[in-house]
Amino acid sequence: MPDKKEFIRFMIGAGVLRFGDFITKSGRNTPYFINTGNYSCGSELSALGGAYAEMITETTGSEYDAIFGPAYKGIPLAAAISVALAEKYGCDKRFFFNRKETKDHGEGGCLIGYSPSEGDRVIIAEDVITAGTALRESMALLKDYRLEIKDMFISVDRCEKGYNGKTAVEEAREEFGISVHSIVTIKDIIEFIENEDSPYKKYKAKMLEYMEKYCIEPDSRPGAF
């Protein structure tokens, strides 16, 4: 698996992991935010794709047919992973992504890239999981294609409670049969800013407060990955 400390440094250096005051897609005020949309050069995308490709290969081998990257941030992510898999592991996998609005001219449809067939084994590539909102949107979009989706890969598991009092990761498994695999968790990030000579130590108290309010520690949640 990718080195956790190195990956956190990488996210901070790319401006992807930031500390301050933010609002998540689920409407929660958070002292830190992960935005993979801030990766903006070839070397960053290459490193990101390589980290995901390593995690995917160690987790699933090559037992899947395609990679789905939800619009918009999942689009370059799925492409970067596909390139890294081919170059580093000789594993040539197709990828596809969705439009935010269905196209009503030309070829039409809402999916771009690979055209999945019924029964295809598909993995999802995303940046984070918070309350599971984005995953539910993806599953609603893909349900009519009758795909086999067993795994989702993310940069950061925020370890947050979803809509039913369980973690979003637990809900993903129970509702959709999907295992969520992350490179790092919120606990890893807190330990990083605590132990490093970091200007971000001042956010530790707010992060712990946020974790107390919204999260379940990865080591204590049932069936943790």
Query: Which residues are part of the catalytic machinery?
Result: 103, 105
> End-to-end CA distance of the chain, in Å?
13
Check: CB of residue 160 under 8 Å from CB of residue 168: yes
- Give the separation between CA 147 and CA 214, rounded to whole angstroms: 32
Please give the DSSP secondary-structure letter assigned to residue 115: -
| C-alpha distances out from residue 144 to 55, 135, 174, 189, Å | 28, 15, 20, 37
| C-alpha distances out from residue 42 to 35, 147, 160, Å | 17, 31, 32
- Give the separation between CA 140 and CA 180, rounded to whole angstroms: 17
CA 81, chain centre distance (Å): 12
Please name which of 74, 14, 83, 31 lies closest in space to residue 53, comparing C-alpha atoms.
Answer: 83
**Reduced DSSP (H G I as helix, E B as strand, rest coil) percent helix, strand, coil of the chain, to 5:** 45, 25, 30
Please name which of 63, 61, 67, 112 lies closest in space to residue 94, comparing C-alpha atoms.
Answer: 67
